[in-house]
Amino acid sequence: MIPASAGVGLRFTHHAAVLEERPAAAWFEVHAENYMGGGRPLEYLEAIRCDYPIALHGVALSLGSAEGIDARHLQRFAALADRIDAGLVSEHLAWSASGGNHFPDLLPLPYTEEALAVVCSNVERAQQVLRRQVLVENPSSYLRYRHSTIGEAEFLAALAARTGCGILCDVNNVYVSACNLGFDAVAYLRALPASAVGEIHLAGHRLRQFGDGRSIRIDDHGSRVAPAVWSLYAEAIRFFGPRPTLIEWDTDVPALEVLQEEARYAERLLAKETADACAI
Amino acid sequence: MPALFEVQRAFARALLREDAGEACAHIADDGFGAAGRLRIYRNTCRSTLAATLRLTYPAVEKLVGSGFFEHVAAQYVACHPARSGYLNDYGGEFVAFLAGLGAARELPYLPDVARFEWALSVAANAADAPKIEPTVLLLVDAERHGDLRFTPHPSVSCLELTHPADEIADAVMSGDDAAMAEVDIAARPVHLIVHRGHSGIETERCTARQYGLISRLCAGEALGRVIEAAPEQAPMILAQQLAKGRFSAFTVTA
């Protein structure tokens, strides 16, 4: 069980520190694909699992693929989830496979009724094989399709209603996409069904500016959470209530203490929200 | 309205090639340009695959320099998309790609170093599998011992190289120029067995004779035929492989 407190994204560089120092951390989340082989990484993860709850986050299941999901990959995912008794399992509202090729990125979907039916079918299959609820995360977007007919938040709400899946709300992704595509981030949060939101992600991003004045925000998970994203996070937990919240960092990963500092700040905001809710 | 299948196929083609026209027709310009927006995804895909190669082939990168490695990796990535979401499987064909590069001919040992590093990666990432306890073989009727065939542990690679790639890789990764200078890089046959043992990745050098027997056992050849070829050596070789945990299953098949 993952508590409604702040956890940290566990990366290989932190394995030894976690095992030796047993740092104060409510829970850890790992990328499923990093542990689908055997040997040392899995040994570390199982040792860490003895002392901490672990959430499993997939990045390559391709829930949005019109050609279905890779049965072998799904089986590996399920075996790992069982082996470490994952407290939460999550994936993305995205696709990454087509024509036998795999593209290592979270590629955007057109939000149409047809795409909704495809994602529902894939999520149902994943939940059947995993034998547990999957949380589906909103991606960072750098484009939108001309023929989309549904808003992303409404798409996620419909997906949750039809399949019983949960929603992983990545607040940094909401902010990045809102800036890149020009929508209202707070309105997006309000359009998500609070009861379906089972986890929140926070991470850093960077602003890439071009000589002609154009700019785009890139979700690189390579810095501290931006102040505007912290503000949006405070809004999010006001709407959803306290939720397990993860600090992610994947580029130029710093020492574990830096991630713990970020987690402590999230924890303070969670505690404040809990206190405010009790006062009402 | 275009079908999702068609949109994804067009997007995929745009990621694999520079021609993004078909995919761009589906993407809103939004003041930034559809091609520019799509390029963000293409760059992420390619840089992730190049980073995967860099992690798998660190000694190759040190030998050729990071700039040249980046150039070669970009060429490889452009024509070798990943086939699954499990990226530890990515990059096995890089060895043959390097061997075919004219620019790499100045370092004739480079493909062997890449072959060795791929074996290390396979050993590190292979799925866990059981290891045969030698006592289990005692349960097999002695008259059928000649029909025993072994399945190697998934971490095992048998390498027959023409250069001492293990010494070269160790020296270059240690960053010790003196150690590198002492390596005799001249071509000579080197036989290696790489696998994940009880204490981590193990690399064993063996003679051509030992290698021949080990590789025949790993290829699933009947034990009787291997013993016929080397009645003195084969039983000891088999015992050593079992003790090192290099076999994960066996069958008794005539």
Mean per-residue pLDDT, A77-97:
98
User: Which residues, numbered 84 to 113 in chain B, qualify as contacts with chain A under a Cβ-Cβ cut-off of 8 Å?
Assistant: 84-88
Interface membership of A183 toward B (CB under 8 Å)? no
Contact B82 A36 (CB under 8 A): no
**Which residues 126-155 on chain B approach chain A with CB closer than 8 angstroms?**
126-129, 155
User: How far is it, in rounded angstroms, from Cα A149 to Cα A147?
Assistant: 6
Interface confidence (ipTM) of the complex:
0.95
Are the beta carbons of B3 and A182 separated by less than 8 Å? Answer: no
* Predicted pLDDT of residue A280: 63
Q: What is the percent of chain B with per-residue pLDDT over 90, rounded to a whole number? A: 81
Phi, psi of A50 (to 5 degrees): -60, -30
Q: pLDDT digit of tens for each residue in chain B (254 aa)?
A: 899 999 999 999 999 986 778 999 999 988 888 999 999 999 999 999 999 999 999 999 999 999 999 999 999 999 999 999 999 999 999 999 998 888 777 899 999 999 999 999 999 999 999 999 989 998 999 999 999 999 999 999 999 999 999 999 999 999 888 888 888 878 789 999 999 998 899 999 999 999 999 999 999 999 999 999 999 999 999 999 999 999 999 999 87
Closest CB from A102, A214, A218 relative to B83: A102
Rounded to the nearest angstrom, the minimum Cα separation between A151 and chain B is 15
Inter-chain residue contact B37 with A218, CB threshold 8 Å: no
CB-CB under 8 Å, B4 with A112: yes
**pLDDT score of B17:** 83
**DSSP code, position B158:** E
Which of A12, A84, A143, A218 should one mutate to test binding to chain B, selecting the residue with the greatest count of B CBs within 10 A? A143
Query: Are B8 and A67 a contacting pair at CB < 8 A?
Result: yes
Which residue from A minimizes the CA distance to B9?
A: A98
Report whether A159 contacts A123 (CB < 8 A). Answer: yes
Closest-CA distance, B192 to chain A, in angstroms, reads 20
CA distance to partner chain A, nearest, from residue B156 (Å):
13
d(CA A181, CA A239): 23
Confirm or reject contact between A61 and chain B (CB < 8 A).
Answer: yes
B82: CB partners within 8 A, 6+ apart? A101, A102, A103, A104, B49, B89, B90
CB contact A206 to B (< 8 Å): no
Mean pLDDT of all residues in A175-192: 97
Residue of A60, A66, A214 lying closest to B8 (CB–CB): A66
CB contacts of A60 in chain B (<8 Å) are 84-87
Instruction: Please name the residue of chain B whose CA is at the shortest distance from the CA of residue A68.
Output: B5
Nearest 5°: the CA angle A174, A178, A180 is 120
Chain A residues whose beta carbon lies within 8 Å of the beta carbon of residue B30: 143-144, 181-182
Reference A235, options A182, A197, A207; nearest CA is A197
**A 150-169: CB under 8 A from B:** none
A:7-46 residues touching chain B, CB 8 A cutoff: 33, 36-40, 42
- For chain A positions 107-136, those within 8 Å of chain B (CB to CB) are 107-110, 112, 114-115, 118
User: Is it the case that residue A85 has pLDDT exceeding 70?
Assistant: yes
Q: Where does residue A178 rank: exposed (0-12), middle (13-18), buried (19+ CB within 10 A)? A: buried
> Does the structure show a pLDDT above 90 at A77?
yes
Q: Is B194 on the interface with A (CB under 8 A)?
A: no
Is A115 in Cβ contact with B128 (below 8 Å)? no
| A178 interaction partners in chain B (CB closer than 8 Å) | none
What pLDDT, on a 0 to 100 scale, did the predictor assign at position B101? 86
On the CB side of A182, CA atoms within 13 Å amount to 8
Interface test with B, best of A44, A57, A101 (most B CBs within 10 A): A101
A127-183 confidence digits (pLDDT tens): 999 999 999 999 999 999 999 999 999 999 999 999 999 999 999 999 999 999 999
**Roughly how many angstroms between the first and final C-alpha of chain B, as a whole number?**
61
d(CA A56, CA A29): 6
- What is the average pLDDT value for chain B, to the nearest integer? 93
Q: What share of chain B is helix, strand, coil (3-state, %, to 5)?
A: 60, 15, 30
**A102·B84 Cβ contact <8 A:** yes
Picking from B40, B41, B87, the nearest residue to A33 by CB comes out as B87
Tokens of residue A108, six digits: 């955007």
CB A99 within 8 A of CB B83: no
